Amino acid sequence: MRLAAQIENLTKDYVLAGGTVHALRGVSFDIPEGDYVSIMGPSGSGKSTLLNLLGCLDRATAGRFLLGGEDVAVMTDDERSEIRASRIGFVFQSYNLIPQLDVLDNIEVPLYYQGNVTSEGRERCRALAELVGLGDRTDHRPAELSGGQQQRVAIARSLANDPRFMLADEPTGNLDSVTTREILDLLGRLNEEGRTIILVTHEDEVAQRTKRSIHLRDGHIQSDELR
């Protein structure tokens, strides 16, 4: 079994004026390639902190995080930026689309960061728009799209550099129940194609669609259950 990521005794502390906050307290688990994991827990449990560490957006206080066998802790900031740009796809609750750009240009944004804007890359982004059901909306701007359509653009954008590791932070939090199911169907198909997906959610309906649920409480893993 190949591992997409290994988390070993991961700890994260924040030093604030009022004292030290222990956001994660020695968390350990493996993520096999092709896994589909939901991370759940009450506010303050460490969900967002864990997602930031998995996305190479922050550094752990202690412990190890191996991504594809490489120790992220010893990487330089530039190396971590390269990892984020080339190997990790991000999907956010608030979509984070650029309002001045149309659908196709928004999907292409990761290619600009990589300095990899080519005719081949543009055709790939056009194919991604088709994949998420927006092939006829590529010239529309975010304000002309529904919330569900904007999230589809965000998912397509997260795939622009063909990452094998996707992180989704409450991707259905702003959507109605019908659109939530459509987005979860799309994520499920991407997982069936072999992509590893880690999804933070507080909704049981969303977690039920994943293969595995990790529950956090007070910075500890309370349970780790296969479905």
Exposure of 106 in the CB half-sphere (CA atoms within 13 A): 28
CATH of the domain at 133: 3.40.50.300
At residue 17, the pLDDT reads 86
List the structure tokens of 48.
Answer: 């967002």
Residue 112 belongs to domain spanning = 3-226
pLDDT in tens, 174-218: 899 999 999 999 999 999 999 999 999 998 999 999 999 999 999
Mean pLDDT of 110-116: 82
Question: pLDDT class for 132, splitting at 50, 70, 90?
Answer: very high
Burial 197-219 (b: 16+ CB within 10 A, else e): bbbbbbeeebbebbebbbbbeeb
Q: Is the pTM of this model over 0.85?
A: yes
**Is the pLDDT confidence value at 66 over 90?**
yes
Distance CA(223)–CA(136), nearest Å, equals: 43
- How far apart are the two ends of the chain, measured CA to CA in Å? 19
Distance CA(186)–CA(161), nearest Å, equals: 18
Distance CA(155)–CA(191), nearest Å, equals: 13
**Is the pLDDT confidence value at 114 over 90?**
no
At residue 125, the pLDDT reads 94
Number of domains in the chain: 1
